[in-house]
Amino acid sequence: MSRRIKLPPNEGEHIEFKERLIPLVHLKPERRQQLSTQLKSHLLEGGGVAVYLLGVNDDGVVVGLSEYDLEMSLSVLSAVVAESGARVRRVERFETEKGLIARVVIESLPTAAKPHITVAVAGHVNHGKSTLIACLLTNQPDDGKKWLYLDTLPHEVERNLSADIHLAVLGFKEGRPLTMSNPLDKMERVRIVEEGEKLISFVDTVGHEPWLRTTIRGLVGQEVDYGVLVVAADDGVTHLTREHLGIMLGLGIPVIVCITKKDKVSQGRVAEVREGVAQLLKRVGRIPFLIREPSDIDIVYDKTGLVVPILEVSAKTLEGFENLYRLLALLPQREKPLDKPFLLYIDRIYDIEGVGSVVSGTVRQGRLRAGAELLLGPYPDGGFKRVKARSIEIHNTRVEEAVAGYVVGVAIRGVSHDEIRRGMVLCDEELSPHAVWSFSAEVLVLNNPSRFAPGYEPVMQCHTISQSVRIVELDREYVRPGEQGNAVLEFKYSPMLVYPQDRFVLREGRTKGIGVIKRILRYA
């Protein structure tokens, strides 16, 4: 006798029976679209929740599945869910006389339209950048190992040195920080993103000088809103402190200074370092403002830019952390171009089993919804290819929509994984992107042992683009350090997508210059 599934009262409208889902059948574009439309309808009927019963035919009769067929069906359903602005909340498996069945609970994704700020943390090696972030995430004093929450690559653990950019998220609710006991736990990060009324994405940069290009990538490639310059009280201002400050200011990033490790030195030494920082800021036309009391933050939180808040903190004792939390909670979200076509510069590329190609970066402008048709490029010939955004994640949290300023991962379909490169973009077709070979720019030369003149070929870093450029023309014979000049530059190897008013850094080892694009001269 066939066993029929009995449905709870009033639950039938958003429940779907599926005997079996087969990749070669149900993942064909037309059939996949039908399944996605069907799921969206059930989510609407169920108030954002839908239930799928696998191993049950359309009449509600149990047919059962083998372990292999059930896993295959779950895989197909997960792919459809990812493209439908939803996520799988729970899978319940049951054994029957005829085989396995599964009850899959699916829910609509939360939107990401909440206040969000991206903060880059820079400074000299061993000045405490990763430790500062880790202690902010946990609100726990440093035990000498907190930096491991950020520096997770094997060679970073071995050498106790950051070697790549790392991302972290801190949430605020009702003005108070939402902290984690274990920042490595994916589910804790998901909780922060879901519960936070305001989110701070930290970009932990590299302090070791040989990896300066990676630090620059973090500052120019992540559409940073604010920069935290870390200066250790036991070491003080160094040449890299000056260099990182110069890059931030050249890119127009408002700066906050954190003097760390104050527990390791005398009050006199802290005052000496504070004065060194203040003099450095004054030389570049900024007003240093020491935060002593919470009321000081109310004075300056909306004036960052010309005014640079200075906080003195200790990761060992958490002294000064309440002031830093308050400042981060009050920092205003910088204006984002939400009404423009979607644009994201690709920073990282992953090939994830069961998902495919995933690209990450910070949304520069516009909005992105799961399932959107996009363009990827430019390719070496200047062209773009059509792809589809299968799903979107923010700090491991699946969302239906991402907006300008969010650091996201996007699963895409439509091109080979090997074709994707850092510096490419994902964008709306409405943007009508045109790859650029050459442009005119205004350049400020900071230091240059080589002669900054026509023919010189530094590396240009703009957004996530990192490519050699050639100085074709200059408005004088050469530009000396500290001088500003107008130049014509061209990409050496392949055209890229850049626009007037984009800021960039020129480097050859150390930073050589900072510039802004004025006019596009030649398209691909």
* CA 167 – CA 347 distance, rounded (Å): 12
What is residue 289's predicted lDDT score, i.e. its pLDDT?
A: 96
Segment 485-503 shows an average pLDDT of: 96
Question: What confidence tens digit (pLDDT) does each residue in 175-211 have?
Answer: 999 999 888 888 888 888 888 999 999 998 875 655 6
Segment 34-49 shows an average pLDDT of: 82
In this structure, are residues 183 and 168 in contact, taking their beta carbons and an 8 Å threshold?
yes
What share of the chain has pLDDT > 70, as a percent? 90
What is residue 163's predicted lDDT score, i.e. its pLDDT?
A: 52
Question: What confidence tens digit (pLDDT) does each residue in 54-102 have?
Answer: 999 988 889 999 999 999 999 999 888 877 778 888 899 999 889 999 9
**pLDDT tops 50 at residue 475:** yes
Q: Return the structure tokens found at 302.
A: 């909306």
Segment 505-520 shows an average pLDDT of: 86
DSSP for residue 418: G
Residue 378, preceding bond cis, omega within 30 degrees? yes
**pLDDT tops 50 at residue 157:** no
Residues 6+ apart with CB under 8 A from 156: 162, 163, 164
* CA 375 – CA 107 distance, rounded (Å): 29
What is residue 87's predicted lDDT score, i.e. its pLDDT?
A: 82
In this structure, are residues 255 and 249 in contact, taking their beta carbons and an 8 Å threshold?
yes
Domains 12-108 and 116-330 share a fold: no
Which of 7-11, 23-27, 520-524 has the largest mean confidence? 520-524
* Confidence grade of residue 152 (pLDDT, cut at 50, 70, 90): very low
Q: Is the pTM of the predicted complex or chain greater than 0.85?
A: no
Segment 262-268 shows an average pLDDT of: 94
What is residue 100's predicted lDDT score, i.e. its pLDDT?
A: 93
Question: What confidence tens digit (pLDDT) does each residue in 297-340 have?
Answer: 999 988 888 999 999 999 999 999 999 999 999 999 888 888 89
- CATH H-level superfamily of 436-523: Translation factors (2.40.30.10)
In this structure, are residues 120 and 218 in contact, taking their beta carbons and an 8 Å threshold?
yes
**pLDDT tops 70 at residue 372:** yes
Helix (H) or strand (E) holding 198: strand 198-204
Of the candidates 473, 461, 471, the one whose C-alpha atom is nearest the C-alpha of residue 498 is 461
* CA 427 – CA 445 distance, rounded (Å): 32
CB-count exposure of residue 322 (10 Å: 0-12, 13-18, 19+): middle
Radius of gyration of the chain (CA): 26
Mean pLDDT of the chain: 87
Parallel, antiparallel or unpaired: strands 510-523 and 436-445: antiparallel
Q: Does CATH place domain 12-108 in 3.30.110.10?
A: yes
Least confident of 67-76, 269-278, 361-370, 508-517: 508-517
* Confidence grade of residue 9 (pLDDT, cut at 50, 70, 90): very low
Of the candidates 433, 398, 400, 501, the one whose C-alpha atom is nearest the C-alpha of residue 89 is 398
Domain assignments of the chain as residue spans, ordered by start: 12-108, 116-330, 343-431, 436-523
Residues 6+ apart with CB under 8 A from 45: 13, 14
What is residue 146's predicted lDDT score, i.e. its pLDDT?
A: 59
Q: State how far Cα 441 lies from the chain centre.
A: 28
CATH topology of domain 116-330: Rossmann fold (3.40.50)
Q: Phi, psi (5° rounding) for residue 255?
A: -115, 145
CA dist list (Å): 305 to 246, 259, 277: 13, 18, 16
**pLDDT tops 90 at residue 471:** yes
CATH class held by domain 343-431: mainly beta
Give 3-state DSSP helix, strand, coil % of the chain, rounded to 5.
25, 35, 35
Q: State how far Cα 74 lies from the chain centre.
A: 30
